[in-house]
Structure 1
């Protein structure tokens, strides 16, 4: 941070909370905040960088708290944006591995995210030359995760072809970088490459486990609408259990990531 910002602004950026992430991503309006969208986006990037340097257990708590409180608003804000890469996308991208995101991605407000992201990417002109490597990497990472969670088939054939052309061009431009890796996941997924299909299926299984399998240690009972209807945690509505006894057994660990949800 430079002297362009006040001590109060600098301290606010260093103190990361669910509310600050929502503020800097433009999801909520703070009456006393007169910062430009560009400054807010810069502060959001700084806060996410702070979280990524923390221990996973600590950052995961904040990601879950944000997702539980603000995910519907974040997704609505993302859908309202014309650009694929925008502050709401940036903040959603860091919470896609939380159980809260997985549950929301199955609700009416979230189940079309992969299709919408692909449509936004497909609208990017093929001859656009100002895309930076880190932005291309973030776009590829977000779409790849959405494809794993919601399936390649959720994207229209027309959008798939447009995204493939664009990502192949970007992949060549950013050869040897993390951007090439994330873009490649999408390319392989759209092309039906067998290893990538297996990887996406494995990722979907891993991310779905907390919202489909009893959270008690060593219990592998899974939610099945036809046979087994597991009970949800009454607070977060995300974790599931096969019995009250198993919910009690899991509480010590689960309470660290249990937050009341807005959905």
Structure 2
């Protein structure tokens, strides 16, 4: 009986993809171990993989870890016979670059009742000022895109306004009025000894707020023009403060 081993594999593979290995062994009952190597002449010294053997035929799966030219070695540890396959050219997975897709303006235009020649949004002409007849694209409870006229959107927004509540801010110490914290708010003074003054660098034309003096003492006003000449908000009183102009000028209505 002749001791022999043969081995073969596909001539091309991919990094990270399984490479099927097959071969024969004699004596038919011997076990076979396989391994990938970049050398076709020197028996590899790394970890071997045991192949499934039956009736002198074996099969195994190996996975290349790097691109390049590889060889499959088969080794019979009982007889010491070895074999090497032909070259296996292993390639790296192709990198797929997904380009930014332009908005399908032909589809959008058909929804709006117009036409398009495949332009991307930056190539389209500038729109006129908004009008009630303009149309926006919306999705309602799903992925379907529908056309919604601005007039319907305006009606929906108007219906939400009655439920809008002006936010309130509690004031417990002297404060400089500024846009971020006090514009379009109700200031509730809840402590005595409070002075309100404008932070002019922060106030812009159109600033407005309402002050409710819920403390037991007068609130002092500074840096403002009063419509009555008084510069205090009496206990339990209400005042409205406005700013206008570029400087701006701050006035208080008592």
TM-score of the pair, normalised by structure 2: 0.21
Q: Which has the higher strand share?
A: 2
TM-score of the pair, normalised by structure 1: 0.20
Q: Which of 1 and 2 has greater Rg?
A: 2
Larger RCO, structure (CA 8 Å, separation 6 or more): 1
Q: Which has the higher helix share?
A: 1
